[in-house]
Amino acid sequence: MPETTLILLKPDCVSKKLAGEVIKRLEAAGYSIRGAKVLSLDAALLREHYSHIADKPFFPEVENFMSSGPVIALAIAGDNVIEGVRELLGPTDSKKAAPGPSVETSASMSWSMSSMLPTPRKMPRSS
């Protein structure tokens, strides 16, 4: 079933110049890029995106990391893309992930379920 999901290439992925490799892997898996934007995330947007953990004691660390540099937001589409991206990433807990390049790449990615949205949210303008 065709779906669309949001992938965030996090600041360390961007700074380590891994974005091209991540995109290459997503496209090789048969997914299409529907949109892409480089963003600097502010506290309000991070609290909204991570609302499920915003009240946790570790959230300030997440907020500091995610605002430490630019991220690349990708809208990725394809059949069963949400499940497929999870399989492609493997465990996002580095203690559970197999060693090798996939750990570095998957540790630099995040996703949220946006397939239920009728239309993509308007992304804020980057500064």
User: What residues make up the domain containing 20?
Assistant: 2-112
Q: Which two tokens stand for residue 74?
A: 């990708």
Stronger pLDDT, 9 or 105, i.e. the higher one:
9
Q: CB-side exposure of 33: number of CA atoms within 13 Å?
A: 16
Report the CATH number that the domain containing residue 73 is assigned in CATH: 3.30.70.141
Sign of CA dihedral 15, 20, 21, 25: positive
**Continuous segment of H or E residues that includes residue 126:** none
Total domains, the chain:
1
Q: Residue 84: inside a domain, yes or no? A: yes
Q: Residue 117: inside a domain, yes or no? A: no
Name the residue among 4, 6, 21 with its Cα closest to residue 106. Answer: 21
At residue 89, the pLDDT reads 76
Q: Residue 127: inside a domain, yes or no? A: no
**What pLDDT digit, counting tens, does each position of 66-99 carry?**
999 999 999 999 999 988 888 887 666 556 655 5
